[in-house]
Structure 1
Amino acid sequence: MLVRAVMAASPLPFYHCWRARLGPVPPAALATLSAAEQARHARFLAARPAQAYAGAHVFLRAVLGHYTHQPPAVLALGVDARRKPVLTTAPPLWFNLSYRADWALLAVSNQGEVGVDLEAIRPVAGAAALVDYLFSPAERAVLRAAGRSAWRALFYAIWTRKEAWAKCSGMGLALPFAGFSVARRRGSAIAWQVPGPGQLQGFVVDEGHAGALACAAPTAVSWQHFDFPSRLPVAALPFP
């Protein structure tokens, strides 16, 4: 299987995106979380967010365990000076996790910083104020020109790309979101763009979720998408 071959030959450059459908987490899987992760899981007051957190972090540890050839429970996870999660053991890997109630996405590379975002496509509360505050003038123009039926998909296509880019940079929400653009009008069409050196792309997770990936690579890269726990390759259609 392709993913196993790449894992076994770590000098080969790779950019992988894993997806997992979240559900109930067996006690044996919960036991792979660190003491800090288990304590955070216990602090959730609602069952569904607790389940999503546990499932996403069990998924994170299981996938990283495949790359490092270590049991998930012994992986040493920490944060860097920017508070971005890092793997403190060899081999060097860069990763980023995003999850919602039903799905989790994990970007992994041995080449440099990556970012991933996952959003459920649903009505946007306070949409006008959110767009005015967090979207650039060019992005607002894209949304103004969109028909009513296309507005929501475009909103999430822009938002997921902005989030993935911010996470790749390590700044997260500290990045001035209205100060950079991932989309602009080009005549009657939309031109997707990267706000700095690197790559950025959006894709469909399922009919109700959108995703986006960012990396710091200066030249074009080919992301490979895999399902968890099957490890089978999956197709990722562009979004929107």
Structure 2
Amino acid sequence: MIRPQLADAFTPRAGVLDLWEIDLARPISESDRDLLTVEETAKADRIIIESKQRQSYRARAELRRILACYLDADPGALCFAYGEQGKPALLPDPERGPAPLCFNLSHSGTVGLVGVIFGAADEQLGVDVEETRPSREFASIAESFFAPDEVEVFRRLPVAEHPAAFYRAWTRKEAYLKAIGTGLSFASSAFSISFGRGEPARLLRTTRAGDHPSRWRMIDVPCPAGYAAAACWSGPELELRHFFAPCSAPAPTSRATYSSAT
């Protein structure tokens, strides 16, 4: 198991999947507010539930700090574009061009998770973290959202194993959906993943046009008690590193903006 470490000596490295754990229980700071755009602030301020609003502010601010560590950039100057299903991507810097990385963000409860692959801008990456709730009707939810072969596997499990198995499956499936950027426009029943106890995480089957399970790698991500998490990416196997946010790399000597190209 890879346990998170402090990022005091953080240095970006290619060929590595970096996983950043964010503490969303911390109060929103003025620094957090200052980093967000007017649009991000307005979106967060529309959230009525205080804990959800804090999640939005803290997750977005820490995402900016983390990405800035890789890009030698001002975190407040980073500009994002969003796919049809809301998947974020960095806009190119006018002078340096596209950012040399792919990333993804997830948050639930008081835990945020950011995945970054440096030097792999063309790869696809998805991460998912979920706060677990042991009292849910897991069998009913599985029948509604899992693929038929996954439902059969789930039914054969002892009831005592349902909570852990459900969240293994759910986070792995969400990580794949987030990696391909389709959200639920690609049905969660249209592909299958492994989730048996002790079974390595992997994509088993997908009906997505032009896709194949051999393209994908998948792992469970260690996280605090009461949470489950997974990551999924296209491309080769990668070394893993796990950090606590915020990133505390040395201050950049030059400042890229990664805003719209002119």
TM-score range, shorter chain: 0.7 to 0.9
**Structure 1 residues 96-107: aligned runs within 5 Å:** 96-107=104-115
Q: Secondary structure at the match of 1:53?
A: helix
| Per-residue deviation, 1:41 | 1.0
Q: Runs of 5+ in structure 1 lacking a partner? A: 233-240
The reply on whether 1:5 has 2:11 as its aligned counterpart is yes
Aligned length: 225
The separation in 2 between residues aligned to 1:180 and 1:154, in whole angstroms, is 17
Does residue 133 of structure 1 match 2:144? yes
- Deviation, 1:119, is 0.5
**Cα contact 1:115–1:168 (8 A) shared by 2:** yes
- Partners of 1:80 and 1:3 in 2: CA distance: 33
TM-score of the pair, normalised by structure 2: 0.78
**Separation of aligned partners in 2, 1:184 and 1:102:** 25
Equivalent AA in structure 2 for residue 222 of structure 1: E
**Aligned residue among 163, 166, 172 for 1:152:** 163
Q: Using the alignment, how far apart are the partners of 1:15 and 1:189 within structure 2?
A: 22
Residues 1:209 and 2:227 are matched in the alignment = yes
Structure 2 counterpart of 1:65: 68
Identity of aligned residues (%): 26
Query: 2-side partners of 1:59 and 1:177: how far apart?
Result: 29
Query: Residues 184, 113 of structure 1: CA spacing in aligned structure 2 closer, same or farther, 3 A cutoff?
Result: closer
Q: Which residue of 1 aligns with 2:40?
A: 37
Segments of structure 2 that go 5 or more residues without pairing to the other structure are: 1-6, 93-97, 205-212, 250-262
Work out which structure has the larger RCO, using CA pairs closer than 8 Å and 6 or more positions apart in sequence. 2
Whether the 8 Å CA contact 1:142–1:190 is kept in 2: the answer is: no
The one-character-per-residue Cα deviations of 1:7-59 (angstroms, maximum 9, x if unpaired) are: 5xxxx333211111112111222110011100011111111100011111111
Distance 1:212 1:230 in 2: 21
Q: 1:17 aligns with which of 16, 19, 22?
A: 19
Does structure 2 conserve the Cα–Cα contact (< 8 Å) formed by 1:138 and 1:184? no
Using the alignment, how far apart are the partners of 2:198 and 2:180 within structure 1? 28
Residue 120 (structure 1) aligned with residue 144 (structure 2) = no
Q: Give yes or no for contact 1:136–1:179 (8 Å, CA) kept in 2.
A: yes
Question: Could you state the TM-score of these two structures normalised by the residue count of structure 1?
Answer: 0.85
Superposed CA RMSD: 2.3
The 1:26–1:192 alpha-carbon spacing in structure 2 relative to 1, beyond 3 Å, is: closer
**In the alignment, what sits opposite 2:203?**
194
Write 1 or 2 for the structure with the bigger share of helix: 1
> Is contact 2:19-2:242 (8 Å) kept?
yes
